[in-house]
Amino acid sequence: MKPLIGITGDIDERDGKRYLYIDTRYGSLIEEYGGIPLLLHPAESVKEVISKIDGLLLSGGEDIHPKYYGEEPKYPMELSPDIRTEFEIALVKEAMVKGLPILGICHGMQLLNVALGGMLYQDLKRQNFVAKEHQLGDGRHQVFITRGTQFFKIMGRTAINVTSTHHQAVKNIAKGLRVCVRTTDSVIEGFEMPEYPFLIGVQWHPEKEPDEDSRRLFQGFIDQSLGIRTP
Ligand code: MN
């Protein structure tokens, strides 16, 4: 039996309608490494949705409204609709009750941090980081993995090159999470939950230019999801 991996998508509100969409490269990687990708519609029945899947992938997207971490927007930003944020927070909480493997990518990592009580930098550039290399266009940079972490075990080395496109990042990390990846300008690029089988957030986009490191990460995630699959 292949594990079913639920993926959250972007929601675009225009012409009085809501559209749910996703970069299909997430699903392609899931399929390539042994899972079945399933796009999750924002539904009320979060408990039922979680009971059907074996792993949860929180995909990239726009900025989370700062009200979810107790701030007002300080700078211009592209906001993710509340319906997505609230659906994702509910999914994370329910998935953790069931012990499902969770992988957060870019917005998905930030969402995990916020869902668990952490805070974000609203704009790296204005908060004294070398933001240029984190953004699309210049968005390829090196990150450093801490030895002894779950993430190091999966990746097997201390430095990798990643595709980066973000202007926000984790500021205060949520309780229970630990940093496992950073850049030289000290941006938190990855975290994990040591007391949990697989809860990992990465600030980069492994699906945009898939390489051997993307494979290791997705393979690790899918193998864990297979491990909890109920026959
Ligand atoms: Mn970055």
93: left (phi over 0), alpha (psi -120 to 50) or beta: alpha
pLDDT over 90 (residue 122): yes
Q: Confidence class of residue 134 from pLDDT cuts 50, 70 and 90? A: confident
pLDDT over 60 (residue 230): no
From the list 37, 39, 38, 41, the residue with the least C-alpha distance to 18 is 41
Residue 203 CB: number of other CB atoms within 10 A? 28
Please indicate whether residue 207 is annotated as part of the active site: yes
From the list 99, 119, 84, the residue with the least C-alpha distance to 50 is 99
Please indicate whether residue 106 is annotated as part of the active site: yes
Please indicate whether residue 134 is annotated as part of the active site: no
Task: Using the mean position of ligand 1's atoms as its centre, give its distance from the Cα of residue 47 in Å.
Answer: 33
Model-wide pTM > 0.75? yes
pLDDT digits (tens, 9 = 90+) for 89-98: 999 999 999 9
pLDDT at residue number 131? 63
- The Cα 205–Cα 209 span in angstroms is 8
Q: How many residues in total does the chain contain?
A: 231
pLDDT at residue number 102? 98
Instruction: Take residue 174 and report the two structure tokens written for it.
Output: 């949520």
- The Cα 109–Cα 121 span in angstroms is 13
Task: Using the mean position of ligand 1's atoms as its centre, give its distance from the Cα of residue 115 in Å.
Answer: 21
pLDDT digits (tens, 9 = 90+) for 138-165: 678 999 999 999 999 999 999 999 999 9
Q: What percentage of the chain exceeds 70 in pLDDT? A: 96
∠ CA 206-113-66 to the nearest 5 degrees? Answer: 110
- The Cα 134–Cα 169 span in angstroms is 10
156: left (phi over 0), alpha (psi -120 to 50) or beta: left
Report every protein residue that has its C-beta within 5 angstroms of ion ligand 1. 134, 164
pLDDT over 70 (residue 75): yes
50-54, 76-80, 176-180: range with lowest mean pLDDT: 76-80
- The Cα 96–Cα 182 span in angstroms is 25
